[in-house]
Amino acid sequence: MFALLKHPRNGLSLSAVLLAASWTPPATAGGPVHGGRAAAMGTAFVGLADDLSAFAYNPAGLALLNPERQLYGGATLVAPATTYRNPAGQPESTELQIFAPPHLYYLPKAASPDWRFGIGVFAPFGVGGRKWSSHGLTRYASTESLIGTLAINPTLAGRLAPALHAGFGLDLMLVRSLSRLKADQSLLGAGDGNVKIQSSGAGLGFNAGLHYAPSPNWSIGAAYRSKIRVRLKGDLHLRDLAPPLQPIVGGSAFNSDISSPMTFPDIISLGIAFRLPRATLTFDAEQIRWSSFRNQELNLKREAPPVAADSSTPLDWRNIWTLRAGIEVPLSGATALRAGYAYVPSPIPEHTLSPAAPDGAMHHLSIGFGHKLRDGLALDVFYTAGIGRKRNVANAILSGAYDNTTHYAGVSIAQAF
């Protein structure tokens, strides 16, 4: 977001801040944040879709539910952690942060035996980010990154044939983003500058799903969630600018309104579920089309070239396939144990990976249980350990090695009345 600067005395050029490193990408889709039961089963739920978290996984499943008025809600605690080592072996770790994306789904009492309409509120791309030391090794690429998403999802589901159900919903998605980093001004004879970008926006999309159960023993499902285009609007704040730059911007600080378009990816999900005498098994495959993140644009309402100017930087994210599996084993009429696994590759290529989004491939290992507290009231609890594969990168943002882990713990309460 700082343009290329020229040192006023010796003509040396420097990149004060790389635009790509000042942008906060969204948290990875498909994380276990949409309901305690599905999360405990590794989020392999598209072919099953038999509770209210079907809003997030496969809306066709809503037509399978009992006709009572139903409510399902809760939250997931998300604690991401990253350790970075520079090429010399010096380490830097993120500070502890805990995020709590909510989920809340509501179905009124059925007015028709074949159709259901309700509304869901959940975080389709989660909430997350990283916070690094403001004096550490990563400070010129990122000191803080945060993004949160929340979707309001009115949905209609119904029976098309005795074994075939379909669902369709609209997605109004709200987005909030924050980035902070330092600017290296040592060649200008000054200390670090401070950069802050905060923005928010909204976009509209849709989702649809099919569920086919030719036998009580097995079912298959397919779901699609469309791209959502969002124009983020907010503020750019530059502080503690070096004296040689101050005549350009009119002081040691600079502010401007900004806008930045972002296209969240479309998602294609396929799943199958088997209901055995003593267990339910689920398997999903999901393509997340992150190639919608081709470039990052930052448009300033007020420019001060060459310190701050409109810019566009390649991101070159790629599409990924996630693979998921889950199991549910009833222990009694009131309690069930659950477990699951998910493999989530990273969409970020080596040349655009940064401390703001240091994602590598992740293995998600999940466990949990459900318990009926009384008639019409149930509790779902889960824990997921996200274990990352060490990733070594060499790029123009910040070369080194990144190790990632993420801990998820969540609870959901189901009420039928």
Residue pLDDT, tens place only, 159-186: 999 999 999 999 999 999 999 999 999 9
**pLDDT class of 344 with cuts at 50, 70, 90:** very high
Q: Does residue 13 surpass a pLDDT of 60?
A: no
Can you give the pTM of this predicted structure? 0.92
Task: Give the Cβ contact number of residue 157 at 10 Å.
Answer: 29
Mean pLDDT, the chain, whole residue set: 92
Q: Mean per-residue pLDDT for 108-133?
A: 93
User: Which amino acid, one-letter code, is at 139?
Assistant: R
Q: Please list, in sequence order, all residues whose beta carbon lies within 8 angstroms of the beta carbon of residue 10, skipping any fewer than 6 positions away.
A: none
- pLDDT tier at 229, thresholds 50, 70, 90: very high
Per-residue pLDDT reduced to its tens digit, 60-101: 999 999 999 999 999 999 999 999 999 999 999 999 999 999
User: Is the CB of residue 64 less than 8 Å from the CB of residue 115?
Assistant: no
Q: State mean pLDDT over 151-161.
A: 97
For residue 6, pLDDT beyond 70 = no
Q: How far apart, in Å, are the Cα atoms of 249 and each of 2, 8, 307, 312?
A: 12, 15, 8, 21
The CA–CA distances, whole Å, from 391 to 101, 131, 251, 277, 348 equal 27, 19, 41, 43, 11
In this prediction, residue 10 carries a pLDDT of 29
Domains of the chain listed by start with CATH number? 4-416 (2.40.160.60)
- Using pLDDT thresholds of 50, 70 and 90, give the confidence band for residue 332: confident
Distances, alpha carbon 229 to alpha carbons 21, 67, 136, 198, 204, in Å? 22, 35, 35, 18, 7
Each residue of 249-276: b (16+ CB within 10 Å) or e?
beeeebebebbbebebbbbebbbbbbbe
Residue 336 corresponds to which amino acid? Answer: A
Residue 308 has pLDDT above 50, yes or no: yes
Give the least confident one: 1-5, 258-262, 342-346.
Answer: 1-5
* Look-up of token digits 């969630």: 225
pLDDT of residue 23: 52
- pLDDT for position 29: 59
pLDDT at 31 over 90: no
Q: Are 411 and 380 in contact (CB under 8 A)?
A: yes
Mean pLDDT of 354-372: 95
Q: Assign 313 a pLDDT band (cuts: 50, 70, 90).
A: confident
Percent of the chain past pLDDT 70, that is, above it, reads: 93
pLDDT in tens, 197-221: 999 999 999 999 999 999 999 999 9
Residue 208 is encoded by which pair of tokens?
């649809």
